[in-house]
Structure 1
Amino acid sequence: MSTQRPSAPTPWSTTLLVAEREITTQVRTKSFLVSTAITLGAVLAAIVGGALLGGDDDATRVAVVSQTASVVEQVDGLEPVLVADEDAARSLVADEEVEAAILPDAGVIGLKVLARTSAPADVVAALSVSPPVEVIEPDATSDDLRMLVSLAFGMVFMMSAMGSGSMVAQNTVQEKQTRIVEILLSAVPARSLLAGKILGNSVVAFGQTASIAAVSVIGLVVTGQDDLLGVLGAALVWFVVFFLVGFVLLAAIFAASASLVARLEDVGSVLTPVMMLTMFPYFLVLIFNDNAVVMTVMSYVPFSATVGMPVRLFLGEAMWWEPLLSLVLLAATAFGVILVATRIYTGSLLRMGARVTVRDALRAEV
């Protein structure tokens, strides 16, 4: 009777095994579930609240008689209250039940406005005839909307990347501090361990970002903001794609940086540079969202392209080929960073005690 030895696991299978462990460990934590629920709820509340505040345009009530009713019905912003005669209209104005009364007049315009204490500017403005205006180069978005969308992209990137990236770093240091990493490396190669961490946490971060995008779309549809969705839809899709590649780059740096120390107390000192890389796109869009030159540069720098390019796409300032070129540059940079991070990770993972320098990690024999 012959026995067949099981085949050795492949690097891909061990990578998937580590990725599955990372995903299940993170999604089962109460803090992750609570923070995700709060984030999605805040996004939906912001969209619904914005729609309610933006739609607070109740018409001004004005008293009208039969001769003026047809005119007022065609004016936006005024709600006609039909009364029998001028005396009834005066009574409603005096009792402050209406803002003003619009009555017939023998003058050139044929109308007069009756008010209680002062001329109602909103009523007069609604009745005024303005000449048609033709704008040669209309702005695609208002300044407020530009700022809001820019900050939203920057905030989502910063919070998701820092949250999942910190989890990568924390797990890496905990495994070294408890020496579990020695057991893991007896069954899984260091490269597969790093690849699994990056893959697993990238899936979690991508899922969070995609969920935020989905909730945003649902909120815009439910609140009837289809016009904004039409402008924002393509930028949202590109943001999710850029985020996936951009987070892979950052996750590799988080893991490599954390592998240099063996205690949780020391992890803050090695994560400062990568934290700055994660935060600076947010601050750039906060300050320079109306600066076309800065936003263009941001959209091609790998560490800020995740925010810069989707914002430019939303504003209609990017040509069709620009996101493709930016994504290629981002992916190429991510590949190069992963190669360097792998060398640092494998060269420092089993070194306990004092903090390992990047130079020593790169020179270590693996």
Structure 2
Amino acid sequence: MTTFEAAQLVAAREIRTKLRDKAFLFSTVFFLIIVLASIMLPSLLNGGATKVAVVGDTSISALRADGLDVQTVADQATAERLVRDGDVDAAVLPGPEVVAKDDRPGDVVQALSTEPTVRLLETSAVNPFLKVIVPIAFAMLFFFTSFTFGMQIAQSVVEEKQTRIVEILVSSVPVRALLAGKVAALTLLAFAQVALLALVAVVGMSATDAAPGLVSAVLPAVGWFVPFFVLGFVMLAALWAGVGALASRQEELTSTTVPVQMLVLIPFFLAISVPHDGVLMKVLSYIPFSSPIAMPIRLFDGEAAGWEPAVALILLAGTAVALLGVGARVYSGSLLKTQVRTNFMAALRKA
């Protein structure tokens, strides 16, 4: 059996194990529910368009232009009765005069108000709220996926060491094939989970008309996010496996995985807290540990030149190759030490 065939065998085993894992399936369903709820709840809570009864026809065009549900009634008494019965939210009488039951209908008043003409020098088809929430979504996708799947890689390695299964595995397949199979399987599962969440989000927003112009605006950033996500995840996955192998039992993972946790946490908080058009954000988009978050955000905001993501991706790929080597050496040097915790530098030297 070649190393490649052995890695394929390990990857298939890891995928089968994960797909039978109730915790993994539950977390996927839970995230799907969160995504759907965040999209559907605002529309459900709003209760649809405001219903307005109108006497006459002078205000109908202005009200409908603002997306209000307008129905024409014969006289003032009928309009007021509909308001009292709760059949409509407000009524517009000649004058115009707005009638409501117990709360001022701001959207109706705004539709009937005369506003000055506004000319924007830089227009955007994306809602301002979505310009804030989409970058946060990019950051959280990479952060939660790399953190949760990374911890699962480390826990899987320690579990195999504790149960001594690793000794059987190493006698059957090369250590590097074992690591490659784990990284490949978890990368595939992580990407599949993110793709599923993204698909549900797009379908949900299209069904609720929550994001006019969003798909066309976000596609270029998503196109670059995919390779950044894959390379960034692979880069960190090898390190997660390496520091996981340093521990001899699950309780030691808290301390052995701290360095990699910081490599995930610090770039995440920096990317979502610094100004998107500032110098620090530009620097973060080139640093390999933060570029999977920062560069897609800059692309979505229109702050990055066409050549910048290519350069950042090359830097990320080079770092990923280097850290794959480091992670593999640490993993190989500590995997069979099942009785005691291994020092990072000692594992690196022993390999």
TM over 0.5: yes
Q: What is the alpha-carbon distance in structure 2 between the residues aligned to residue 158 and residue 234 of structure 1?
A: 21
Corresponding position: 1:200 with 2:200: no
Q: What is the alpha-carbon distance in structure 2 between the residues aligned to residue 190 and residue 299 of structure 1?
A: 34
Q: Percent identity?
A: 40
Q: What is the alpha-carbon distance in structure 2 between the residues aligned to residue 300 and residue 230 of structure 1?
A: 25
Measured against aligned partners, the alpha-carbon deviations of 1:150-195 in whole angstroms (never above 9, x if no partner) come to: 2222222222212211121112112222222222212211111111
Match of 1:64 in 2: 55
Match of 2:35 in 1: 43
Q: TM-score, normalised by structure 1?
A: 0.83
- 1:45 is displaced (CA, Å) by 2.3
| Among candidates 306, 310, 316, match of residue 296 of structure 2 | 310
Sort the Cα spacing of 1:299 and 1:55 in 2 relative to 1 into closer, same or farther, 3 A. Answer: farther
Alignment of 1:318-333 (within 5 A): 318-333=304-319
Measured against aligned partners, the alpha-carbon deviations of 1:202-242 in whole angstroms (never above 9, x if no partner) come to: 11111111111221222222223452222223323332332
Corresponding position: 1:265 with 2:251: yes
Unaligned runs of 5+ in 1: 1-8, 104-110
Sort the Cα spacing of 1:33 and 1:261 in 2 relative to 1 into closer, same or farther, 3 A. Answer: same
- 1:100 is displaced (CA, Å) by 4.9
Q: What is the alpha-carbon distance in structure 1 between the residues aligned to residue 120 and residue 303 of structure 2?
A: 18
Match of 1:298 in 2: 284
Match of 2:23 in 1: 31
Match of 1:17 in 2: 9
Sort the Cα spacing of 1:121 and 1:246 in 2 relative to 1 into closer, same or farther, 3 A. Answer: closer
Match of 1:113 in 2: 97
Sort the Cα spacing of 1:320 and 1:118 in 2 relative to 1 into closer, same or farther, 3 A. Answer: closer
Q: What is the alpha-carbon distance in structure 2 between the residues aligned to residue 190 and residue 183 of structure 1?
A: 11
The count of aligned residue pairs is: 343
Alignment of 1:324-343 (within 5 A): 324-343=310-329
SS of equivalent to 2:257: helix
Sort the Cα spacing of 1:124 and 1:148 in 2 relative to 1 into closer, same or farther, 3 A. Answer: closer
Measured against aligned partners, the alpha-carbon deviations of 1:309-351 in whole angstroms (never above 9, x if no partner) come to: 2222222222222222222211111001011111111122223
- 1:277 is displaced (CA, Å) by 1.8
| Among candidates 131, 137, 154, match of residue 116 of structure 2 | 131
Match of 1:89 in 2: 76
Match of 1:181 in 2: 166
Q: What is the alpha-carbon distance in structure 1 between the residues aligned to residue 295 and residue 26 of structure 2?
A: 30
Relative to structure 2, which stretch is displaced further, 116-125 or 136-145?
116-125
Measured against aligned partners, the alpha-carbon deviations of 1:257-295 in whole angstroms (never above 9, x if no partner) come to: 111121222111111121122223432243225453333
Which AA in structure 2 matches 1:113?
E
Which AA in structure 1 matches 2:31?
T
| Among candidates 239, 251, 274, match of residue 253 of structure 1 | 239
Match of 2:131 in 1: 146
Which AA in structure 1 matches 2:54?
A
The answer to whether the 8 A contact 2:146-2:264 is kept is: yes
Measured against aligned partners, the alpha-carbon deviations of 1:103-133 in whole angstroms (never above 9, x if no partner) come to: 2xxxxxxx54366899976555433333322
Q: What is the alpha-carbon distance in structure 2 between the residues aligned to residue 46 and residue 114 of structure 1?
A: 33
SS of equivalent to 1:63: strand
Relative to structure 2, which stretch is displaced further, 73-82 or 346-355?
73-82
Q: TM-score, normalised by structure 2?
A: 0.86
The answer to whether the 8 A contact 2:136-2:272 is kept is: yes
Which AA in structure 2 matches 1:64?
V
Q: What is the alpha-carbon distance in structure 2 between the residues aligned to residue 172 and residue 248 of structure 1?
A: 16
The answer to whether the 8 A contact 1:11-1:192 is kept is: yes
Q: What is the alpha-carbon distance in structure 2 between the residues aligned to residue 134 and residue 294 of structure 1?
A: 32
Which AA in structure 1 matches 2:61?
E
Q: What is the alpha-carbon distance in structure 1 between the residues aligned to residue 182 and residue 213 of structure 2?
A: 40
Match of 1:106 in 2: none
- 1:144 is displaced (CA, Å) by 2.9
Unaligned runs of 5+ in 2: none
Match of 1:286 in 2: 272
Match of 1:348 in 2: 334
The answer to whether the 8 A contact 2:158-2:244 is kept is: yes
Which AA in structure 2 matches 1:63?
V
Sort the Cα spacing of 1:305 and 1:124 in 2 relative to 1 into closer, same or farther, 3 A. Answer: same
The answer to whether the 8 A contact 2:53-2:79 is kept is: no
SS of equivalent to 1:259: helix
Structural RMSD (CA): 2.8
Q: What is the alpha-carbon distance in structure 2 between the residues aligned to residue 21 and residue 242 of structure 1?
A: 26
Q: What is the alpha-carbon distance in structure 2 between the residues aligned to residue 51 and residue 228 of structure 1?
A: 17
Sort the Cα spacing of 1:28 and 1:91 in 2 relative to 1 into closer, same or farther, 3 A. Answer: closer
